[in-house]
């Protein structure tokens, strides 16, 4: 008796559900992602052959260019606590909304007296506002603003993460030595003798 042949049919998979999920995920990531804010200083870092990965937490980056100093504190929680500590030192206060806005600002370079005004501006206006000012004052005394920003951010990192904050310096290759020297003096006054210099790979 001949064997009955079962007709072969091509398998058909309904991809509608998978496409829906893919587009939902794509929409979610687009809506929740924060765009990278442009650097306030156009810095061309010097080249180097040494490769060392900059840590992505417990870090402060001091950017130097055109005689100005900007500071970036990594981590919203550390930023907010540092702001709170600085406000206590200077006898002022910031609202919860201002602290939240400061937490998402990548870097800042204004005197503390202008900080509240700076925080309440939008992104484009902040850049224009910073251009008019001379960055964070770099007086190397213990009452100097840069000294206090570094000191309070180190304390905030130690309190929140129970670790030592690392400091990196990102300087323009054409920046003059006296400006860099001021930053190093501020760090050495706090016994921070180990810090990184951010460069581009050769």
Q: What is the pTM of this model?
A: 0.74
Q: Give the pLDDT confidence score for residue 16 in this predicted structure.
A: 77
Select the more confidently predicted residue: 38 or 60: 60
Confidence category of residue 102, pLDDT binned at 50, 70, 90: very high
CB 184 within 8 A of CB 32: no
Q: Which run of H or of E encompasses 101? A: helix 96-104
Average pLDDT over residues 130-136: 85
CB 159 within 8 A of CB 77: no
What is the arrangement of strands in the sheet containing 68-73, beginning at the earlier edge strand? Answer: 68-73, 59-65, 166-171, 196-197
Confidence category of residue 119, pLDDT binned at 50, 70, 90: very high
């Amino acid at each position: 008796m001949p064997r009955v042949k079962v007709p072969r049919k091509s398998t058909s998979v309904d991809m509608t559900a998978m496409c829906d999920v893919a587009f939902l995920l794509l929409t979610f990531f687009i809506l929740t992602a924060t765009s990278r804010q442009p650097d306030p200083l156009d810095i061309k870092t010097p080249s180097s052959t040494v490769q060392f990965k900059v840590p992505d937490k417990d870090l402060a980056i001091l950017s130097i260019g055109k005689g100005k100093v900007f500071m970036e504190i990594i981590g919203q929680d550390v930023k907010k606590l540092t702001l709170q500590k600085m406000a206590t030192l200077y006898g002022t206060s910031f609202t919860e909304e201002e602290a939240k806005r400061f937490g998402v600002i990548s870097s800042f370079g204004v005197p503390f007296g202008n900080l509240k005004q700076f925080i309440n501006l939008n992104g484009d206006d902040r850049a224009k506002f910073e251009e008019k000012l001379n960055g964070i004052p770099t007086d190397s005394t213990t009452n100097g603003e840069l000294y206090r920003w570094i000191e309070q951010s180190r304390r905030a990192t130690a309190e929140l993460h129970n670790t030592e904050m690392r400091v990196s310096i990102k300087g323009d290759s054409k920046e003059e030595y006296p400006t860099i020297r001021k930053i190093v003096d501020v760090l050495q006054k706090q016994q921070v003798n180990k810090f990184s210099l951010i460069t581009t790979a050769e």
